[in-house]
Every structure is written in C-alpha cells, then in structure tokens.
Structure 1
Amino acid sequence: MSATIPVDTVVALLDAAAAERDVDDTEIRDLLGDLDLPADAAARVGDGISRLRGGSERWRRRGRQLTALFSSARELAQLRDVDKLLERLVERAHDLVGTDVTYLSEFDMRTRELRVRTTLGTVAPAFLGLRVPPGMGLASLVVERRQPCWTSSYSGMTQAPHDAHIDATVAAEGLVSLLGVPLLAGEEVIGVLFAANRVEHSFSPEEISLLSAFADHAAVVLQTARLLARTQEAAEETRRAYGQLARHVEAMERASEVHSDLTTLVLQGGDTTAVAGALGKALRCRVTVLDADLEGDDGSRRDEIRKAVEESRRSGRCVTLPGSGHDVVVAVVAGQTFLGALVLEPGAVEFGPVELRTAERAAQITALLSLKQDALVEAEQRVRGDLLADLLSDDPQRRAGVTQRALARGIRTAELRTLVVVSLPAEHRRPAARAAGRAAGSGGLIGEHADWVVALTCETDPAAAATLIHKAVRRAIDQPALAVAAELDAVPRDVRAQLEAATACARVLPALGITDAAVTSDEYLPYTALFGPGETRVATFVRNVLGPILDWDATRGGNLLTTIGAYLDNRLSPVAAGRALHLHKNTVLQRLERITELLGDDWQEPDRLFRIGVAVRVARLSAPHRG
C-alpha cells in the first residue's frame, strides 16, 4: 500500500534535516503526524531524516575543520622564525583537536632521540624538554611506523616498550589517552605532534585524520622555515666570510706597505725610530721602541712589560700586555742577544694574525738595524778609542796631530772639559765603555786605557760628569763601579797629568772602603797626596798609628776610636766631646786615660797628634763603607 506525501511536507522535512540550528525529534514527529502514514512508514521516514541530519552535521563540521586547517596553514606559512613557528603550530593543533594537552617532539636524526620542544596545556615543569630514547614509548612507535599511533590508556599500552622516566613524567602530567602523528618531510621524520587527554578517550577516525592533515601541512611549513633559516645562516656566514676576506685583503695590503717601507729603510740606512714610524703609520697605532734596559716607556708598567718580553723572547711571537686591553709587546732579538722590544697600542685597526705577524717582522728588521747601528757604534768606538790612546800616550809622535784627527770625527778637543776614570773588573770594561760613550754623547772620547775606562767629556762640572758616567755604567753592568772625575784646563796639554791624579785617587779610595761611587779627585786630594797610588799604604799607616786602639775596640767592644774622634773634632775639650757623645765628662776623661795607656803619654804632642788625627779621619771615613 503506498502513500503520498505533500510536497510542502517533504520540503519542510528536508529543511529540518539540513538546518544548521538544533532540530529536535518532536518537530519531525509533528510534521509526520500531520500525514496519514502507517507507523512503520513514518518510522522509516524519521530514520532517514535522522541519518540525513547526521551526515549534514558531519559535513558542516568537516567544512569548518578544513577551513580552520587551511587558515592555520596560511598563517603558519607566513612565519619564518622556527621557534615561533613551533609555538604557533602547537597552538593551532590544540585549537583544532580540542584535547587537554598538545605538544611537539623534535626528532634528532643523529641520536635517534625525540625531545619535547613545545607544549600547550602542560603543568609539570619536567615535561618540556623530556627526552625519549630510541625505540621507547608511543613517540618512537610513530617514528618507526611513520603513521599515526594512539592509545586510550597509556599506562596499559602494550604496543610499545615503556620507559620508567617517561612513565613518571606522563603520570606527573596526568595524561591518559594520547594520539601521535608524524611530521614528515618526504621520507624524513622531523618530529611527532601529540594530542593528549587526562581521561580515557578513544580517538575517532576524524580526529586522527584531522590531526594528520594538519601535521602534513605543518611539516611542509616547518621544513621550509628550517631551510630558509639555514639559507639565511649560510648567507650570513657568507657575508661574514666576505667581511673577513675583505679585512684580510686590507691587512695584507697594509703588510705589503710595511714590508716595502721597511725594505726601503734597510737599504737607505734608517734607524729603529724610522721603523716604529713606518709600522705605526701602516697599522694606525702608536709604537714605542724600548732599548735592552726596557727604557723608553713611562715606567708605570715596567714589570708587566718585562714579563711579556720574556714570553715573547721564548716564543718569538707577539704577546698581549696584561691589564692594558689590547697592547702588544714583541721582543727584538738577534740570535741569543736581546736588543729591546716594540710596544704597540692599537688605534683604528684591530690587531689580527696578519697585523701581529707584521709586527713580528718589524721586530726582525729592528734587530737587523740595531745590529747595523751597533756595528757602526763599535767601529766608531774603536776609532775614538785609538784617538784617546794616542792622546794619553807617552810617545810625542802619537800625540802629534790628534787634534786634527779628532776634528775629522766631529770632536773638538778644546771643548773637552772633564776627564772621568772608571775602576771596575776587566770583564765589565767593554760594556762599560759603550755605556759611557752613549752617556758622553758624540762630542766625547771614551775607551779602555790600561786598567781603566777613561772618558773625556764636554761637561764643565766634574761632579756632574762623574755622576752621569757612573749612572750609565751601573745601569749597563749592574755591578759596583768607581768613577773619579778631574777638571781639564787644556787638551791635550794637561790630560796625562789629570789622568794620573784621577787614577791615584781611584787607587786610594778602595782602601777607604769606597768602591761604588761618583767623586772628584779634588774631594780626596789630601789622602791622595799623603798615601800616593798604593792602597796598602793607607791600611799600613792607620795600623801603625792606631793599632792599640783598634785592637782594644775589637776585643772588648769599646768605643775608644769614636771617643778620640769626638775629642779631636771638639778642639781637645773633654766637656764638648762628652756633649757630642751624650756622655758625662768623667766618662770621657776615663776613656782618654785608657787611650794614654795604649798610645803613650806623648800622644797629644803636635807632630804625633797630627798623624793621629789623619789616621782617625781615614779610619772613620772607611768604616761606613765597610759596614
């Protein structure tokens, strides 16, 4: 038996089935109740309408999901920063699937590990950064199969091995059901995207399909972003390499310029100052030249420079000066001979390997020029030494013409005003003569003569000349030296006489305990006149005159020598001597009685008192130097 349904009713039923609003079963039953249909027919129509409504709802939901999917894909495609892309990717997946937790694990091709990189909805701090070893857990199963894998109860999962640490972290987060889909770039797995709930949940095919589709889009975008990032890194590396190449080319050009300038300096006979100027100009820095005594710097960092120089001597390379930022020190060495150092203070040019190598080559050129200068100085010193030897010779023929020959060397003998004799061991005389020559300047005559180093200088003050020469010699040999100066009235007439006076004084002074000093011969003329050139005569004289007193003081710890000296200094007054010694007059009288017992009753006779006075002064003069 068939029944007909009015067209309006059919249209109303179809509208109800396709409506996006909620349509309950009562409305459909009302529409069917207006028809005169058998019960089974009405039921069949109602079932059909319900199926049609369900299918329509699924298609609408699928449409919304696809719209959201493509919208997310477009948004993700606009991102270039990989870290931000991963965060946004997880956010969009979280919105699409609507699970409690969404996270992404990145796959390491080298170690085969997975590491949780980005999460949304997690509360346990340990979850972010969780590492999954190869072959363990649901994530590794997704990587191995390259297809979605899921479980409604993680604790009861049997399709993949469990790991105690992973299980503890998942339990701390409270995750129960998990769905993981691979992020594939071609055949390469780059990660796994997870959707998880804190309750048991059976993931539907639509949920699995939707997350898989999103993962496919995300994998392409993520791989593209990675490739772009790598491209940008490569471009940046290329720019850096180009910049380094440009700087290297510029540095090589500067090095070539310095090499050309230094070669010219060597050929034209330049000095170390010119080397410093050429190096400073090319490297746009300040260059200080230090001599072998490290003189030339301001002295405030002498210890640091000395340590850096020692290291540079050992390595042959530049050494950065500690505490100075970027100052560089390089030693100037010829074989085992240390000649000085160069100190470079960077300016507009940053010091790199090429600049440092240029400085090292400049140090080598400096060493060559220093050796050349030293050779010239040595030759000049020999010539001047010969002139000095002729000037001091007993042979009149050798002295003849010395003034003219000296003038040919730029030395005016009429301007030589002081003679300085330096007494020191033979092994130190040669470096001492060189040091004295530098101190005396180009107008002086310096050389070795007999057992002395003799310097004729233009200094008019003998004391100043002695001090100047003594200081230079002491700095050069770091040993005691005795410098005695004598004034010259006319050269060459009185040179030999003043040499005898200065050497006589130099022989007497060691007997007085003076072995390291700068003096003039006039200061000690009385002692030279008394004792002549023999050192032993001084000690013999003092012993002969004051022997008993010296023995008494030595054996009994007495002060008779001090007492007799005060007595003589205070015009033979016991009272004045007592005040000078801070003693009572009676104490002084008792000591004078002891002196009388030791020296005899006539010790205060004029002639003998004179000799005692001289001996006391000699003994007191030598005592401080010997002490």
Structure 2
Amino acid sequence: MTETLPGDVIVSLLQAASAEQEVDVDSLLADVPLSEQDTTRIRYEIRRLRATSERWRRRGQELAALFSSARELAQLRDVDELLGRLVERAHDLVGTDVTYLSEFDAKSRELRVRTTLGTVAPSFLGLRVPPGAGLASQVVEGRRPYWTSKYAAMTEAPHDSAIDAAVAAEGLVSLLGVPLLAGDEVIGVLFAANRVEHAFSPEEISLLSAFADHAAIVLQTARLLARTQDSADDARRAYGELARHVEAMERASDVHSDLTNLVLQGGQAPDVATALGRALRCDVTLRSPEHLDGPVADAVDRSRRSGRCTPASDGTHAVAVLAGPTLLGALLLEQGEVEFGPVELRTAERAAQITALLNLKQDAMFEAEQRVRDDLLADMLSDDPDRRANIATRAHARGIRLDELRSVVVISVPAELRREAVRALRRTGGPVGEHADRVVAITSYPDPATASALIHTAVRRAVRAPVLAVGAGIADATADLHTQVDAASACVRILPALGLNDTAVTTDEYLPYTALFGPGEARVTTYVRRVIGPVLDWDAKHAGKLLPTLAAYLGNRMSPVATARALHLHKNTVLQRLERTTELLGEEWQEPDRLFRITVAVRLATLAKSP
C-alpha cells in the first residue's frame, strides 16, 4: 500500500475498529485509491479489532459487575442471607434460567441443594446428591468446572434416579457447575442451568468460576466469623455460668458457716430457715408434718423418697427434713432474686440435714421431758392410790393444769408407729403417752368429737397409715379419767368388727357397744354362753367354723346360697354346718323368739372376738 490515506479517513477507520460508533467501511474506502487486496485486508482487520474491542468492553463490564457483587457479598455476615444473595448475583451475571448452590458435607461426602433461584419444582430445594453421582460429584472430585449441553445424554458422570427425576421435574437441559473452593477444601458447587440445550462458552465458564472464587472466600469468611461469634457467645455464656457458679458457691459457703454457728451456739430449727432465706435471697419457711397439704405435700413425699430438693406444682421447692425414715417437717423455698440451680438446691438439702440435727437435739431434750410426762400419765391412769397421790401438784410442776383438761382420746396405730404418733401429738399441750398398747392424749378441748378429729388428722398425717381415734369427755381428770380411757379403749377394740379402721369417733356415738363390752361387764359373756354355748364349744374343740357360718347365714337373710357365696363355700358345705348347728341348738332354734336371741348372741360373740 503506497497510497497515502487522508487523516479523516484514518480517524474514521479507527473509530470503526473501536466499535464506539457505527461506520460504513465500504463507503469510507470507496473514494480512496486502494487495491482490492488492501481494501480486503483493511476490512478484515477492522472486523477483528472491533470484535476484540467488544469482547474486552463486555469483559470489563462483567468484571465491574463481579467486583461490585463481591463487595456487596463481603458486607454480609449472616450465612443464610449470604447464600441467597450469592445465588441472586450469579443469576444476574450469567443470565441462565436457573441458578442454585449445593453445600458439600466433607464427612458424608454428600451435596445438598441449599439455595435456588428460578426453580419451580418444590422437590428441588433440599435435593441430596450422593457421593460419586451426577455432574456435581464430578465438580467436587475434579475441583474444576464441568458442564453439559444436554443432561439426559450426559455420559461423563454416572446418573442417579433421584437426581434425574428432580432435573426432569424442573425441565433442566444444560447445566454448568463450578466449585466453591476455600484453599484445597471444596465447600460447595455453584450451578447455572438452562431449560434449553446450550453450549456454555469459555467466557461464561470463566465468569461463573471467577464469581465462585470470590463467593467461596466471602462464604468461608462468613462461616468463620459465625463460628467465631458462636465461640464468643459460648465463651460469654460459660463465663457467665462460671461467675454464677462462683457466686453460688460463695453463698453456699456463707450459709454453711451460718448453719455451723447455729449448731455450735444452740440455735433452733426455725433459725435455719432464716439463714437459708438470707443467703438465697428468698422466702424460706419451716413446716411441721401436720401442716403439709396439697401440691406441697406431694413434693415433700417425692423429696422424702429421693432425698433431694423437689419442685412443687405451685412453683415452690420443698425438701423433706428427715431423721431416718421419720418425717420431721419440710423446708419450703419460694423463688426469689436468685435462680435455683444445682448449688442452691444442694445448699437447701444441707440446710434440711442441719434442721433435722437441731430437731433431734431438741427432741432429745423433749424426750427427757416426755418421759416425765409419760410417768405422769401412767400415774393418772393407775389404780394404785400411792401413785395417784399429789398428782395435781406434780402435773402443775410440768406446766399442766388438770382442771383445764376436758377430753381424752385413745388412738390405735400399729406398734411400730406409736412413737411417731406420740411425737406428732406433743404440741397438744396435755399429757401424751402409751398405755395398754394404745396411745392416749388428754386435751383441753371441751368437745370430744373435735378433739378426736384433730388428733386423728395430726396422727394420720404423721404416720401415713390408718388411725382409729376415739374421744371421750372428762369432768374431773383425777376422778373419771381411768373409766373414760377404758370405755374409749373398748370402743377402739370393737370398731374393726364394725368395718371401721380409719376414723375419728366418740364413745357416745357407739354407746350401746361400749356399754355391753365396757370394763367389768360380765353379763354379756353369761348371756352368750347360755344361748349359743354349744356352738362355741364345738368350734373350740374341733377348730370348726360354725359361728362365722351362722353369722353369715343370719346376715344373708337365712339363704344358704347367699351364705355360700359370701363365704366362698359350696352350698352343701353350708347345709352340713347348719345341720350340725341344729344338732347342737335343737330343732326349734329358727323359731322367731329363739332366733332373735340367737342373732343377738351371735352378734355379741362376733364383736367379742374382735381384737
């Protein structure tokens, strides 16, 4: 090319090559004296330069968008939000139909679709890719991009039926996957997919790979920051727990010191509740066994079995005060300023032990006093005039005024529980003790029904077993006490035969029985012997069962069938026993007048045999 081109033509050609504006190259070169060969070369170079310029311009725009996205992502700290925004930006950069990200689990070697954009099938989110399956596994194992223009025809990676079904449901055809790498570690795979067949260009692969590299760094940083934040939160929680534990230990040390001083200085059990409440900054009360009821009583029962401080349904914490199997009371803790943790609960349990120790100490002193009172009660119930001499003076010395005592209650409990029953009745103020296998309590209540009911409740709550309590009024403790105790004892003996084993009554309520079976009443025995003596003798000699059979027969309207059913016997056995009864009592024993007297005698004999 020897011709010289005008300057404006050269400028126009450069503008055409830069693609900054559209220029008609053919018309521009038409007036320039150039050979056909030179013209063709110029046209080719201009097209090549224009394509290169266009590619670099597009590349610059993509890089600008890439760095802008990277800066935006770097400002996010929440991992879930970051994953969603990451997929959005990748979707905008590449412009495919669907973009999604799968997280890689290094332990299970599985990939799980975590975030998607552009999907329509609900089954796609959360899809799991097992190790070695699908395009995603190829990306993980090769640590480089992989793509396919037609997934259904892909042979480079093994197919999985679940993955194929999800891809088909979404209508995906072409897929490109690039790894998210943090150093040598794969943390996920970023996918761009189309619902049409598409061959991904090197520029698209390079752009998505560059974005994935930035995203991996940001995602890994966010994860590390999240872990650091979690670790910092754990450290703060641990420090707070340690500080609380140290504070609790200091409180426990203080209360232990206070409790030790209480023991050494002769403190009382209620002082323990005060010291415990002061240390734990809450309300603490000491309850006696007879004042435990409702949810608190249930909690104390659980504490009694476990030996631990136990919460009640009303929010109170209860710890039983025990001396061996004996319940001495309970400490009740109301939630206050300090939250009850393991240290506080153990402190309450130690306080209950100190309370029991102080109670036992107090009980030892009381036992000495009680022995004196037991002796006083025994003297009051004695027939020996010498033991009853000066009884009022001796009672007054013990703080008891005999002229104020108005009722006596005889209590029947199992032998092993009598001592605990006596302990429960110490607060009545009057003489209490054991007498003739019973517990006797003398009170100032003028109404014997009220006295027996209150004492039955107190003993029943303490021993947690059936209790019989029979009350009787007394006009003069020095004169008629012995008689009333005998009458109440006789009533106690008869009540089980009447089907009563756990109740509070008075002797007046069962006056006919106590009159018949009261002390010194021998006429009843004579009457019974005269009417049914042969039956009693037969049973004594042959270890027979005629009397109970006769009682059941009379109690079941003289029906052999009903009698047999009541005694769980065959009808013939009952008939044989009735025949034997006829032989002993005579053929006329079922005549009305004779039958009435026999019925009374059988009833009296049955009651007389009661314990």
Q: TM-score range by the shorter chain?
A: 0.7 to 0.9
SS at structure 2 position matched to 1:329:
strand
Matched residue, 1:447: 433
Q: Of 44, 49, 53, which aligns to 1:52? A: 49
Q: Are 2:488 and 2:507, in contact at CA under 8 Å, matched by a contact in 1?
A: no
Q: Say whether residues 1:348 and 2:337 are aligned partners.
A: yes
Matched residue, 2:79: 82
Q: Of 93, 101, 105, which aligns to 1:104? A: 101
Q: Of 304, 322, 339, which aligns to 1:333? A: 322
Q: Read off the aligned partner of 1:99 and give its amino acid letter.
A: T
Q: Are 1:418 and 1:486, in contact at CA under 8 Å, matched by a contact in 2?
A: yes
Asked which structure has the greater CA Rg, the reply is 1
Matched residue, 1:152: 149
C-alpha spacing 1:452/1:192, structure 2 compared with 1 (3 Å): closer
Q: Say whether residues 1:243 and 2:229 are aligned partners.
A: no
Q: Read off the aligned partner of 1:320 and give its amino acid letter.
A: P
Matched residue, 1:501: 483
Matched residue, 1:113: 110
Matched residue, 1:434: 422
Q: Read off the aligned partner of 2:474 and give its amino acid letter.
A: A
C-alpha spacing 1:22/1:329, structure 2 compared with 1 (3 Å): farther
Please give the alpha-carbon distance, in whole angstroms, between the structure 2 residues aligned to 1:84 and 1:467.
72
Greater Cα offset, 389-398 or 82-91: 389-398
Please give the alpha-carbon distance, in whole angstroms, between the structure 2 residues aligned to 1:396 and 1:280.
54
Please give the alpha-carbon distance, in whole angstroms, between the structure 2 residues aligned to 1:446 and 1:505.
18
Task: Tell me the CA shift for residue 8 of structure 1.
Answer: 1.7
C-alpha spacing 1:517/1:432, structure 2 compared with 1 (3 Å): farther
Q: Read off the aligned partner of 1:7 and give its amino acid letter.
A: G
Matched residue, 1:484: 472
For residues 526-578 of structure 1, the C-alpha deviation after alignment (integer angstroms, 9 at most, x for no partner) is 986x998324423535887999xxx9x969969xxxxxxxxxxxxxxxxxxxx
For residues 476-518 of structure 1, the C-alpha deviation after alignment (integer angstroms, 9 at most, x for no partner) is 56233433332127xxxxx2x3234325544765689899765
The alignment's TM-score, normalised by the length of structure 1, stands at 0.75
Please give the alpha-carbon distance, in whole angstroms, between the structure 2 residues aligned to 1:69 and 1:205.
16
C-alpha spacing 1:405/1:120, structure 2 compared with 1 (3 Å): same
Please give the alpha-carbon distance, in whole angstroms, between the structure 2 residues aligned to 1:545 and 1:189.
107
Identity of aligned residues (%): 62
Task: Tell me the CA shift for residue 169 of structure 1.
Answer: 1.7
Q: Are 2:411 and 2:468, in contact at CA under 8 Å, matched by a contact in 1?
A: no
Q: Kindly report which structure 2 residues correspond to 1:463-478, keeping only aligned pairs within 5 A, or say none.
A: 469=455, 472=458, 478=466
Q: Of 276, 298, 303, which aligns to 1:312? A: 303
Q: Read off the aligned partner of 2:467 and give its amino acid letter.
A: Q
Matched residue, 1:369: 358
C-alpha spacing 1:50/1:341, structure 2 compared with 1 (3 Å): same
Please give the alpha-carbon distance, in whole angstroms, between the structure 2 residues aligned to 1:126 and 1:555.
79
SS at structure 2 position matched to 1:118:
strand
Q: Are 2:326 and 2:420, in contact at CA under 8 Å, matched by a contact in 1?
A: no
Matched residue, 1:575: none
Please give the alpha-carbon distance, in whole angstroms, between the structure 2 residues aligned to 1:531 and 1:161.
101
Please give the alpha-carbon distance, in whole angstroms, between the structure 2 residues aligned to 1:89 and 1:368.
70
In structure 1, stretches of 5+ residues that fail to align are: 490-494, 559-593, 600-611
C-alpha spacing 1:222/1:51, structure 2 compared with 1 (3 Å): same
RMSD after superposition: 4.2
C-alpha spacing 1:69/1:22, structure 2 compared with 1 (3 Å): farther
Q: Are 1:155 and 1:176, in contact at CA under 8 Å, matched by a contact in 2?
A: yes
Matched residue, 1:257: 254
C-alpha spacing 1:404/1:123, structure 2 compared with 1 (3 Å): same
Q: Are 2:474 and 2:484, in contact at CA under 8 Å, matched by a contact in 1?
A: yes
Greater Cα offset, 214-223 or 148-157: 148-157
Please give the alpha-carbon distance, in whole angstroms, between the structure 2 residues aligned to 1:540 and 1:458.
39
SS at structure 2 position matched to 1:487:
coil
Matched residue, 2:546: none
Q: Are 2:413 and 2:468, in contact at CA under 8 Å, matched by a contact in 1?
A: no
Task: Tell me the CA shift for residue 455 of structure 1.
Answer: 4.4
Please give the alpha-carbon distance, in whole angstroms, between the structure 2 residues aligned to 1:408 and 1:116.
92
Please give the alpha-carbon distance, in whole angstroms, between the structure 2 residues aligned to 1:314 and 1:130.
53
Matched residue, 1:222: 219
Q: Of 296, 306, 320, which aligns to 2:291? A: 296
Greater Cα offset, 497-506 or 390-399: 390-399
Q: Are 1:507 and 1:535, in contact at CA under 8 Å, matched by a contact in 2?
A: no
Matched residue, 2:174: 177
C-alpha spacing 1:194/1:336, structure 2 compared with 1 (3 Å): same
SS at structure 2 position matched to 1:488:
coil
Please give the alpha-carbon distance, in whole angstroms, between the structure 1 residues aligned to 2:46 and 2:301.
100
Q: Are 1:433 and 1:447, in contact at CA under 8 Å, matched by a contact in 2?
A: no
SS at structure 2 position matched to 1:106:
strand
Please give the alpha-carbon distance, in whole angstroms, between the structure 1 residues aligned to 2:514 and 2:168.
107
Task: Tell me the CA shift for residue 390 of structure 1.
Answer: 4.5
Q: Are 1:419 and 1:454, in contact at CA under 8 Å, matched by a contact in 2?
A: no
C-alpha spacing 1:279/1:81, structure 2 compared with 1 (3 Å): same
SS at structure 2 position matched to 1:385:
helix
Q: Of 355, 358, 372, which aligns to 1:383? A: 372
C-alpha spacing 1:429/1:396, structure 2 compared with 1 (3 Å): farther
In structure 2, stretches of 5+ residues that fail to align are: 534-549, 559-590
Q: Are 2:254 and 2:279, in contact at CA under 8 Å, matched by a contact in 1?
A: yes
Q: Are 2:381 and 2:482, in contact at CA under 8 Å, matched by a contact in 1?
A: no
Please give the alpha-carbon distance, in whole angstroms, between the structure 2 residues aligned to 1:524 and 1:169.
92
Task: Tell me the CA shift for residue 52 of structure 1.
Answer: 1.5
Q: Are 1:124 and 1:172, in contact at CA under 8 Å, matched by a contact in 2?
A: yes
Q: Kindly report which structure 2 residues correspond to 1:16-31, keeping only aligned pairs within 5 A, or say none.
A: 16-23=16-23, 27-31=24-28
Q: Read off the aligned partner of 2:354 and give its amino acid letter.
A: I
C-alpha spacing 1:78/1:45, structure 2 compared with 1 (3 Å): same
Please give the alpha-carbon distance, in whole angstroms, between the structure 2 residues aligned to 1:504 and 1:48.
137
Matched residue, 2:545: none
Q: Kindly report which structure 2 residues correspond to 1:600-619, keeping only aligned pairs within 5 A, or say none.
A: none
